[in-house]
């Protein structure tokens, strides 16, 4: 039972990182200086995101519901130790959603559109950075469950070079995914979109190398734990091998294939980062841990949750597919 629920949780987090992450990246690209006219960027991003941007957050909600019901020990840890980062993330999501709505659906077009434009872009940067910072903190595990001090419990584990550099890396990763999607969907300025995607990709590679270097220098044993694992090495290699077919699909305007390959790349990156931890969710520097098995709820609760997940997914997935089919298949029409 536990393994099935963990699998659904992993799928929900993956879909949120892929779909909502691309939306976050599109918001950053909207304020990114480039040769593409700002109005053209805004129109394309609005068409790409407008019909589905709210629905992408369903996967975050699903992940939170699963954590709260199936793994109360993990939910407690996240709520307690990552109170400030998740609070900051929620703050950014609220501002981002409100500014996107006013930017694209406000019937009155005046000078306030520029304000909405910048709030939307900056809040997208804010959200992706905090997401990456949370990931970096979990990978580093720079905390002890016995810490009681304010700074040690709420700030120390994410106020460090590894978590901060991971925040920048995830920001560039989301920008790259968004650029891939937007390039595949663009009908005008396609060469400019390809050029922008390539530039973001170069920055992403540099950011990844810098993040690895910081991680290696700051906590070499922890770095070896994650990145000298044979499965992680294979997944990282495959994430690079997918780049050539990705470029081909963009040049041929194969939108669905491009999205599929982007998903495979993200699976490889996420798998390389978190496969070594399983069945643990938290593994601290002092060898204490919180595992999915130890933190799970009672068997009766898990069974009820599985029934609810099966019924819920049978209702959600067809509707979500129908939504994407209607609005994304005909985006250029």
pLDDT digit string, tens, across residues 213-271: 999 999 888 888 888 888 888 988 888 888 778 777 766 767 677 778 888 888 888 88
The whole-angstrom separation of Cα 183 and Cα 73 is: 42
The whole-angstrom separation of Cα 100 and Cα 67 is: 29
Q: How many residues does the chain have?
A: 333
- Quick check: 183 and 197 in contact, CB under 8 A? yes
Mean pLDDT of 72-100: 88
The whole-angstrom separation of Cα 245 and Cα 304 is: 43
- Quick check: 9 and 67 in contact, CB under 8 A? yes
Average confidence score pLDDT of the chain = 83
pLDDT at residue 214, rounded to an integer: 94
Domain-wise residue ranges, the chain: 2-212+295-328
The whole-angstrom separation of Cα 115 and Cα 228 is: 46
pLDDT at residue 287, rounded to an integer: 66
How many CB atoms neighbour CB 122 within 10 A?
17
Mean pLDDT of 172-183: 85
Backbone angles phi, psi at 77, to 5 degrees: -60, -45
pLDDT at residue 54, rounded to an integer: 66
pLDDT exceeds cutoff 60 at 331: no
How far CA 233 is from CA of 151, 162, 237, 266, in Å, comes to 35, 20, 6, 15
204-208, 214-218, 223-227, 280-284: the lowest-pLDDT one: 280-284
How many CB atoms neighbour CB 131 within 10 A?
25
Backbone angles phi, psi at 223, to 5 degrees: -60, -45
Q: Which residue has the higher pLDDT, 97 or 216?
A: 216
Residue 253 gets the label, from left (phi > 0), alpha (psi -120 to 50) or beta, of left
Q: Which residue has the higher pLDDT, 101 or 163?
A: 163
| Those residues with Cβ within 8 angstroms of residue 67's Cβ, 6 or more apart along the chain or in another chain | 9, 74, 75, 78
The whole-angstrom separation of Cα 288 and Cα 294 is: 12
Confidence of residue 130 (pLDDT cuts 50, 70, 90): very high
Confidence of residue 50 (pLDDT cuts 50, 70, 90): low
pLDDT exceeds cutoff 60 at 101: yes
pLDDT at residue 164, rounded to an integer: 94
pLDDT exceeds cutoff 80 at 47: no
Confidence of residue 38 (pLDDT cuts 50, 70, 90): confident
Choose among 68, 231, 208, 81: nearest CA to 145: 81
Q: Which residue has the higher pLDDT, 47 or 168?
A: 168
pLDDT at residue 122, rounded to an integer: 92
How many CB atoms neighbour CB 287 within 10 A?
8
pLDDT at residue 333, rounded to an integer: 38
pLDDT above 70 as % of the chain: 93
Tokens of 10: 């992993």
The whole-angstrom separation of Cα 261 and Cα 240 is: 11
Top mean pLDDT of 207-216, 246-255, 309-318 is at 207-216
pLDDT at residue 131, rounded to an integer: 92
- Quick check: 266 and 259 in contact, CB under 8 A? no
Mean pLDDT of 132-160: 85
Residue with tokens 């909600």: 61
In 3-state terms, the chain is what percent helix, strand and coil (to 5)? 80, 0, 20
Choose among 227, 218, 232, 231: nearest CA to 285: 218
Count H helices and E strands in the chain, helices first: 15, 2
């Amino acid at each position: 039972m536990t393994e099935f629920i963990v699998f659904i949780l992993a799928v929900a987090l993956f879909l949120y990182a892929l779909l909502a992450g691309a939306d976050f990246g599109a918001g950053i690209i909207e304020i990114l200086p480039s040769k593409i006219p700002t109005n053209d960027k805004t129109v394309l991003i609005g068409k790409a995101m407008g019909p589905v941007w709210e629905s992408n957050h369903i996967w975050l909600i699903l992940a939170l519901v699963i954590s709260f019901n199936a793994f109360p020990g993990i939910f407690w840890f996240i709520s307690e130790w990552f109170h400030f980062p998740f609070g900051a993330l929620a703050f950014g999501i609220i501002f981002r959603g409100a500014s996107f709505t006013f930017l694209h659906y406000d019937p009155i077009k005046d000078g306030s559109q520029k304000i909405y434009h910048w709030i939307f872009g900056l809040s997208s940067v804010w959200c992706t950075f905090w997401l990456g910072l949370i990931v970096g903190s979990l990978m580093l595990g720079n905390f002890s469950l016995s810490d009681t001090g304010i700074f040690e419990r709420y700030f120390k584990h994410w106020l460090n070079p590894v978590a901060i550099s991971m925040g920048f890396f995830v920001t560039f990763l989301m920008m790259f995914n968004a650029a891939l999607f937007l390039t595949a969907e663009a009908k005008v300025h396609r060469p400019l979109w390809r050029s922008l995607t390539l530039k973001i990709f170069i920055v992403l590679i540099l950011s990844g190398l810098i993040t690895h270097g910081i991680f290696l220098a700051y906590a070499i044993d922890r770095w070896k734990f994650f990145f000298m694992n044979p499965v992680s090495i294979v997944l990282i290699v495959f994430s690079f091998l997918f780049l050539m077919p990705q470029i081909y699909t963009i040049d041929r305007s194969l939108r669905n294939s491009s999205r599929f390959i982007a998903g495979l790349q993200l699976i490889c990156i996420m798998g390389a980062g978190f496969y070594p931890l399983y069945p643990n969710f938290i593994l601290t520097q002092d060898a204490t841990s919180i595992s999915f098995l130890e933190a799970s709820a009672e068997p009766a609760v898990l069974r009820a949750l599985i029934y609810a997940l099966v019924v819920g997914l049978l209702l959600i997935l067809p509707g979500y597919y129908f939504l994407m089919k209607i609005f994304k298949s005909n985006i250029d029409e």
